[in-house]
Structure formats: structure tokens, C-alpha cells
Amino acid sequence: VQLQASGGGMVQAGGSLRLSCAASVRTFSNYPVGWFRQSPQKEREFVVGISASGELTWYADSVKGRFTVSRDNAKNTVSLQMNNLKPEDTAVYYCAVGRLFDTRREHYNYWGQGTQVTVSS
């Protein structure tokens, strides 16, 4: 399984970005997907998860109401729309394919390379 995250960049506070994660796996629709982020000197933290079917989502409290996750299983892609970005959202964002629809990193087997998001104040 290979994951390719894209869409990161630099925006001002209040701005928006849309991240995408493309997966090279035939049975993509069988797997939940998570987005995590890591900023310098911090542990990688859960941002949002989406179930295999896309019917269930799970957001970290810090991003609820601002971020929206979706997936297109026909295209093997997951998107993360990030609105009203804040400086504290600055991090490298990773997508990951997991065994369980869960917030814990250990339940995600495959990880993309990450894409940098920088939000200036």
C-alpha cells in the first residue's frame, strides 16, 4: 500500500486548504483512513478518521466545525477540507490506512509521506 498526501501549503489565519490522500490499494474501500499531524517537538496526534464506507467520521475536538473529511472509494482518495485555519494547525499532516476505525496510531498500518501546512498569524 502506498499513500500520497498533497495539498499542503502556507496560508494566513482564517484561510483554507484542502488536503488529498491518494492510495494505491485495490481494496481501499475496506479500510478506514485517518489524518494525523505532527508539529516540531510534539507527538503525532489524531486529527480525523473516516470509516471504510465513509458513513462514520471522528474529529478531534480541536478541529470540529472547521475541518471536513470525505472519501471517494471509486477513486481511492480521501480529502480533508480545512477552513478557518489557525496558527496552531501548523504541522506536517499525514494520512494513514488502518485496521480499525480508531484514533490511535497503532491501529494504522500504512502511512503517507506527509504534507506541510503552515498557518501564519
Task: Spell out the SS3 assignment of the chain.
Answer: CCEEEECCEEEECCCCEEEEEEECCCCHHHCCEEEEEECCCCCCEEEEEECCCCCCEEECCCCCCCEEEEEECCCCEEEEEECCCCHHHCEEEEEEEECCCCCCHHHEEEECCCEEEEEEC
Distance between CA atoms of 86 and 77, rounded to whole angstroms? 25
User: What pLDDT score does 1 carry?
Assistant: 85
Work out the percent of the chain whose per-residue pLDDT is above 90. Answer: 93
Distance between CA atoms of 5 and 38, rounded to whole angstroms? 14
- Please tell me the number of Cα atoms within 13 Å of 114 on its side-chain side: 12
User: What pLDDT score does 86 carry?
Assistant: 98
For 9-47, what is each residue's pLDDT tens digit? Answer: 999 999 999 999 999 988 999 999 999 999 998 999 999
User: What pLDDT score does 44 carry?
Assistant: 96
